[in-house]
Chains A and B, each alone.
Chain A
Amino acid sequence: MTTIPVSWYLIVSALLFTIGTIGVLVRRNPLIIFMSIELMLNAVNLAFVTLSSYLDSADGQVFVFIVLTVAAAEVVVGLAIIVSIFRTRRNIDVDEMNLLRG
């Protein structure tokens, strides 16, 4: 079995991260944007795991768990905010949210 070079993992991770970034930029629904951010976080997780195994160090793995936990917490908070906004506005389009500007 041939091992897949580390750089490939990293390239995949970078691609995922880029996709997430682009998602944040082009979508108008905060839910989707949030999902894109999750994608970015998971790209990071992939990188961590890869590097952890490559470096033979546990730090990366631990980090992944922390990131996962934090991401879960973020989901909770994020959804709560989105719901709260939906309650008053009946609309969660981020492009409609520009009361605050200038």
Chain B
Amino acid sequence: MSFTYIASAADWARIAPELVLAGVALLILLVDLLLPQTGAVPRERGAANFFVLPLLALLGVLGALAATIVLFVVGDGQRAFFGLVGSDWGSLYAYLAILSAAGLGIIFSPAYLKRLKLVHQGEYYALFLAATLGMMLLAAATSFMTLFLGLETLSLALYILCGFVTRRQSSQEAGMKYFLLSSFASAFLLYGVALIYGATGTTRFGARGTSAFPGVLQFLQVHPQSTTLLLIGIGLLTVGFAFKVSAIPFQMWTPDVYEGAPAPVTAFMSVGTKAAALVAFARVFAVVLAPVAADWQAVVWVLAVLTMVGGNLLALVQRNAKRLLAYSSVAHAGYLLIGVVVGGATGLAAILFYLLCYAFLNAGAFGALSALERLDNSGCDREDLRGLWFRRPWLAGFLAFFLLGLAGFPPMAGFAAKYYLFFAALQGGHPELLLIGVLTSVLGMYYYLRLIAAMFMEPAREAQEEALEVSLALAVAGAGASAGVAPRVSGPLGRAASTRTGGAGTGTAGAAVAVKTAAQATTKRAPAAQQAPETREQATEEGALAGSSLSWTTWLGLGLAALGALALGTVLPFWLVDLALKAAGTL
């Protein structure tokens, strides 16, 4: 019971992307200390904080991306550190998705943090990169140990990021819920790992192609039939992964956390976590445990179907856009699980390609919402989104673009991804999954379109009501503040009123709803009224929101995401699918 292993330079090279990220994360913490903290330029306004740190983080992501691409080209695809971490194309492909999401999340962050007056940006970006690191580790794990390590790294960072808006109760609540439930689920996963370890005697996956999982194969030679130990281990492992990919019935944390967390974080984690966990899930089940596929396939099949149906069903009546997207991500997890059930090169390639496409679409959608979210986590309700097109046409256009992409409309990436996935289902001998997936997509279409309808086809709240609401807020804010604020508020409002459509029929209904929301808005603000300056800030923030003055970084992020989504849907499948197919072979 002893071994000697000396890490070689090649080993380090194989985890170059992770190293870059880790380095930059530490660097950010250092730089944060050096940035001007006080004085003429306060921390929450300073260009340094809103430029240097995100830029650094972005550079880190880009560096990791560059490293990934280099590895694609020149890497040997071997496992590093005695078979603990993979540097195969499958992992690298997953990195692409994770890093894309991370990059977009980072681009969306500065404007958001600035608007919400969030400090501690050094920690924010460092944790962001740490979470990314964890995800990559999880995706590349070729041993249960690395797998667990990656899982926890990403989770720990995300707990904090979810609860990052300390002034918002829902954010804290999200962090707390995520923390408790995730740890709970990790315990099951870990117990499963322990049992599998007991049954097979190893925690390493073994090299691809020669012997999928030496443990499993040895085990099968000894025991012609799977023992309960292994089966229960697999079951508990399923639970752990299902939790992370938010498969029903382990999805319950998802909407709460996605809704409560800051939108850029949601943009990142909804994609990154899913990507990492799914690749790990696929690797463990569809590759490592493939010899005993007959044992687990039924369970994952049920999970996939439940998730596809349930995710879409639950999203139907959601009125909050963030929450709706959370459920939609549950539904997408269901589609992705098809790939796990089907397995094989095509199934895995479908997962990889889908994740990449999904990264741009989902990150883009949450990014657009990040421009709308207010400090008290309002601003994303359907009522708030009504008539958005008349107020902020480009933002509405972007959001609609991403929603349509998620709904699976060509020529956005969502369609190409879905097509390939469904193709994999058929090819893998599961036509029923193809059919279920197709039919549940119709359900999905409804809620995306309903949201778009609210933005594009329904008039905004009646002008008077809105004015009333604002005047209430202003009254609380105090007379002194209102003088400076009023012009800024009334300008966009006037515009909104003038661009409002006729829509007499829905007008009255809209008015009734608007009264209600106005009332809610005032009650929500009542506690905040104790602190007059904050309320004033909120009022100005709203004024800024109503205008179309978005930060250029947000535009950049939205543009990149849209470009990516479009390119993935039209031009790139040409070789990205091929690449995914090759990558899947190496998982």
Residues of A within 8 A of B (CB): 10, 13, 17, 20, 24, 30, 33-34, 37, 40-41, 43-44, 47-48, 51, 54-60, 62-63, 66-67, 70, 73-74, 77-78, 80-82, 84-85, 87-89, 94, 97-102
Q: Does B87 make an interface contact (CB < 8 A)?
A: no
Is there contact, CB below 8 Å, between A82 and B202?
A: no
Minimum distance in angstroms from B418 CB to a CB of chain A: 28
Is there contact, CB below 8 Å, between A80 and B160?
A: yes
- Contact pick for A101, options B166, B169, B256, CB 8 Å: B256
A55–B203 Cα distance when bound, in Å, is 12
What range describes how many residues of B lie at the interface? Answer: 35 or more
Is there contact, CB below 8 Å, between A30 and B166?
A: no
> What residues on A are CB-neighbors of B191 within 8 Å?
17, 40, 43-44, 47
Is there contact, CB below 8 Å, between B160 and A77?
A: yes
Is there contact, CB below 8 Å, between A20 and B152?
A: no
> What residues on B are CB-neighbors of A63 within 8 Å?
144-145, 148, 193-194, 197, 203
- Contact pick for A77, options B3, B156, B256, CB 8 Å: B156
- Contact pick for A66, options B3, B148, B166, CB 8 Å: B148
Instruction: List 7 A–B pairs whose Cβ atoms lie within 8 Å, in order of A's numbering.
Output: A47-B195, A70-B152, A74-B152, A89-B169, A99-B173, A100-B256, A100-B259
- Knowing A58-B3, A74-B152, the reply to whether A102 touches B201 (Cβ < 8 A) is no
**Chain B 448-480 against A: per-residue CB contact (8 Å), 1 yes, 0 no?**
000000000000000000000000000000000
Is there contact, CB below 8 Å, between B169 and A99?
A: yes
Is there contact, CB below 8 Å, between A40 and B187?
A: yes
Is there contact, CB below 8 Å, between B255 and A100?
A: yes
> What residues on A are CB-neighbors of B193 within 8 Å?
44, 63
> What residues on B are CB-neighbors of A62 within 8 Å?
145
Q: Does B546 make an interface contact (CB < 8 A)?
A: no
Residues of B within 8 A of A (CB): 1-3, 144-145, 148-149, 152, 156, 159-160, 163, 166-167, 169-170, 172-177, 179-180, 183-184, 187, 190-191, 193-195, 197-198, 201-204, 255-257, 259-260, 318, 323
Taking CB as reference atom, which chain A residue is nearest B172? A85
A33–B172 Cα distance when bound, in Å, is 17
- Knowing A57-B1, A58-B1, A84-B163, the reply to whether A67 touches B169 (Cβ < 8 A) is no
Taking CB as reference atom, which chain B residue is nearest A67? B190
Is there contact, CB below 8 Å, between B180 and A34?
A: yes
- Contact pick for A59, options B169, B173, B176, B202, CB 8 Å: B202
A47–B190 Cα distance when bound, in Å, is 10
Taking CB as reference atom, which chain B residue is nearest A58? B1
A10–B1 Cα distance when bound, in Å, is 22
- Contact pick for B179, options A48, A54, A77, CB 8 Å: A77
Minimum distance in angstroms from A89 CB to a CB of chain B: 7
Minimum distance in angstroms from B60 CB to a CB of chain A: 22
> What residues on A are CB-neighbors of B203 within 8 Å?
59-60, 63
- Contact pick for A60, options B2, B174, B197, B318, CB 8 Å: B197
A89–B168 Cα distance when bound, in Å, is 11
Taking CB as reference atom, which chain B residue is nearest A64? B194
A59–B201 Cα distance when bound, in Å, is 8
Is there contact, CB below 8 Å, between B198 and A56?
A: no
Is there contact, CB below 8 Å, between B156 and A102?
A: no
> What residues on B are CB-neighbors of A101 within 8 Å?
256
Minimum distance in angstroms from B243 CB to a CB of chain A: 13
A74–B2 Cα distance when bound, in Å, is 30
> What residues on B are CB-neighbors of A66 within 8 Å?
145, 148-149
Is there contact, CB below 8 Å, between A88 and B169?
A: yes
Taking CB as reference atom, which chain B residue is nearest A98? B173
- Contact pick for A81, options B159, B184, B204, B318, CB 8 Å: B159
Minimum distance in angstroms from A35 CB to a CB of chain B: 11
Is there contact, CB below 8 Å, between B180 and A37?
A: yes
- Contact pick for B184, options A37, A56, A98, CB 8 Å: A37
In the A-B complex, the 4 residue pairs with the smallest Cβ-Cβ separation, listed nearest first, are A40-B187, A100-B256, A51-B198, A47-B194
- Count chain A CB atoms within 10 A of each CB in B163, B175, B177, B191 and give the residue with the most: B191
Minimum distance in angstroms from A30 CB to a CB of chain B: 6
> What residues on A are CB-neighbors of B148 within 8 Å?
63, 66-67, 70
> What residues on A are CB-neighbors of B257 within 8 Å?
100
Minimum distance in angstroms from A55 CB to a CB of chain B: 5
> What residues on A are CB-neighbors of B1 within 8 Å?
56-58
Taking CB as reference atom, which chain B residue is nearest A14? B191
> What residues on B are CB-neighbors of A55 within 8 Å?
197-198, 201
With A40-B184, A44-B191, A67-B190 already in contact, 16 other A-B pairs whose C-beta atoms are closer than 8 Å: A41-B187, A44-B190, A55-B198, A58-B3, A63-B203, A73-B152, A81-B163, A82-B176, A84-B163, A85-B173, A88-B172, A94-B180, A100-B170, A100-B260, A101-B256, A102-B318
Is there contact, CB below 8 Å, between A81 and B175?
A: yes
- Count chain A CB atoms within 10 A of each CB in B149, B159, B173, B255 and give the residue with the most: B173
Taking CB as reference atom, which chain A residue is nearest B319? A102
Taking CB as reference atom, which chain B residue is nearest A61? B1
> What residues on B are CB-neighbors of A43 within 8 Å?
191
Is there contact, CB below 8 Å, between B198 and A99?
A: no
> What residues on A are CB-neighbors of B174 within 8 Å?
100
Minimum distance in angstroms from B223 CB to a CB of chain A: 15
Is there contact, CB below 8 Å, between B172 and A81?
A: yes
A31–B509 Cα distance when bound, in Å, is 47
Taking CB as reference atom, which chain B residue is nearest A33? B180
> What residues on A are CB-neighbors of B256 within 8 Å?
100-101
Is there contact, CB below 8 Å, between A81 and B179?
A: yes
> What residues on A are CB-neighbors of B163 within 8 Å?
81, 84
A24–B216 Cα distance when bound, in Å, is 33
